[in-house]
Amino acid sequence: MQVPLLDLKAQYATIKDEVLTAVSEVLESQRCIGGPKVAELEGKIAAVSDCKFAVGTSSGTDAILNSLMSLDIGSGDEVITTPFTFFSTVGCIARTGAKPVFVDIDPQTFNINAELVASAVTEKTKAIMPVHLFGQMADMDPIMEVANKHNLAVIEDAAQSITSTYKGKKAGSIGTVGCFSFFPSKNLGGIGDGGCVVTNDEQLYNRLFVMRNHGSKPKYYHKYVGGNFRLDPLQAAALLVKLPHLNDWSEARRRNAAYYDKKFEGTVVQTPYISPDCVTIYNQYCVRVPRRDELLAHLKENNIGCEVYYPVPMHLQECFRNLGYKEGDMPQAEKAAKEVMAIPIYPELTDEMKDCVVDTILTFLG
Ligand SMILES: *Cc1c(COP(=O)(O)O)cnc(C)c1O
């Protein structure tokens, strides 16, 4: 039996007619930049995130970059973040000229170890960027405490965690800004690239809005150096069709996770730890296993989709060698990079498919 890591065709089949109608409306209108679909989506993303404002962006990466630029973070500044994340988080910090400062992860949640954040603060620190990895939010209370004490901005990289919660609060609503990605493999994925920034700060919202369009206001008068960070209305149209399904899809992922949790109980497979403070949306279901690389090869041979998120922690990436980190500096992130792997969790999985994944893993591990 073939079980892909993600099957977007299965999802598309359930909403195809609506997506085609919505996309066609945009094409017929020939409002190819901005327009009512983008504004409508922004309102709805703000609402589901319990935030006052939202600014659609061209990608999750540009949501993060726009946030950093709008907060005037750049050369000479430091931003505290996690080494165990997708490249974007750290790439954006570096692109502004600021210095990424890493804090190791909590080995249970894989998120930044909030207890260690305070010790990384210097006079140069401008912001903290926690990442809500795999669908579960970071431990925000201690992070906000440090941020408030030192007057730091908090940029939530919520690319994998739209609508997940921490102590009942939505991802993106706790920090200064929250950044979402609509990359097709995220829980709310477009039909191409897209992203969004949410905030409750009206002044910052105005800046994000202007920065998204080359920092110009009015047109051709540039107060700031912004960029082209605009969300494509075709993406907004497709996302408006998908958004009403988001909770059901996340619920189906949680049901799949509970199914796996039970099947792996008492085995060598360590299932994801979800803090009692959090409701996760399981953008990934990552297990920690012995002989990870051998198992990965075995699953691929047996047509079962799996992937390592992420094989090289950011402090050991070649492009960040200038930061001066070395192997051993972030032991928990380095260990996780060697031991974790994601298995299929997407909503349309059948029990038969999940059983096939579980059986193939357990038979191999003995
Ligand atoms: C996907 C992702 C991003 C970037 O989003 P894009 O839309 O692909 O640019 C940033 N951070 C994390 C943690 C992600 O998973």
* CATH code of the domain in which 304 resides: 3.90.1150.10
Tell me whether residue 1 is in a domain. no
> What mean pLDDT comes out for the span 279-299?
98
Is the beta carbon of 200 within 6 A of some atom in ligand 1? no
Tell me which DSSP letter residue 100 carries. Answer: E
pLDDT band at 225 (very low <50, low <70, confident <90, very high): very high
pLDDT at 366: 87
Ligand 1 lined by 159 (C-beta under 6 Å): yes
Q: What gap in Å lies between CA 66 and CA 331, rounded to an integer?
A: 31
What is the per-residue pLDDT for 159? 98
Q: What whole-number distance in Å separates Cα of residue 234 and Cα of residue 222? A: 27
Asked if residue 2 belongs to a domain, the reply is no
Per-residue pLDDT at 334 exceeds 90: yes
Measured in angstroms, how far is the CA atom of residue 365 from the centroid of ligand 1?
Answer: 32
Is the Cβ atom of 111 under 6 angstroms away from ligand 1? Answer: no
Nearest to 130 by CA among 146, 115, 111: 111
Q: Is the CB of 155 under 6 A from ligand 1?
A: no
pLDDT, mean of residues 37-66: 98
CB atoms within 10 A of CB 77: 18
Where in the sequence is the domain holding 356, given as residue range(s)?
245-365
CB-ligand 1 contact for 131 (6 Å cutoff): yes
Domain boundary among 206, 224, 244: 244
- What does the pLDDT look like over 156-181, one tens digit per residue? 999 999 999 999 999 999 999 999 99
Minimum CA distance residue for ligand 1 atom 13: 86
Confidence of residue 29 (pLDDT cuts 50, 70, 90): very high
- Domain co-membership, 91 together with 70: yes
Does ligand 1 have an atom closer than 6 angstroms to the CB of 59? yes
Name the domain boundary from 199, 216, 244: 244
Both 51 and 172 in a single domain?
Answer: yes
Q: Rounded to an integer, what distance in angstroms lies between the CA atom of residue 15 and that of residue 234? A: 15
Q: Rounded mean pLDDT of 199-224? A: 97
**Quick one: CA dihedral 210, 52, 140, 58, positive or negative?**
negative
Report CA(29)–ligand 1 centroid distance (Å): 30
The response to whether residue 334 sits with its C-beta less than 6 Å from ligand 1 reads no
Average confidence score pLDDT of the chain: 98
Sign of the CA dihedral running 140, 141, 143, 144: positive
Considering the domain architecture, whether residues 219 and 142 belong to the same structural domain is answered as yes
Ligand 1, atom 2: nearest CA belongs to which residue? 159
Q: How many domains, in total, are found in the chain?
A: 2
Give the model's confidence band at 87: pLDDT under 50 very low, under 70 low, under 90 confident, else very high.
very high
Whether 321 is covered by a domain: the verdict is yes
- The total of other beta-carbon atoms located within 10 Å of residue 339's CB is 18
The domain boundary residue, chosen from 223, 244, 265: 244
What is the band of 206 on the pLDDT scale with cuts at 50, 70, 90? very high
- The count of other CB atoms within 10 Å of the CB of residue 29 is 13
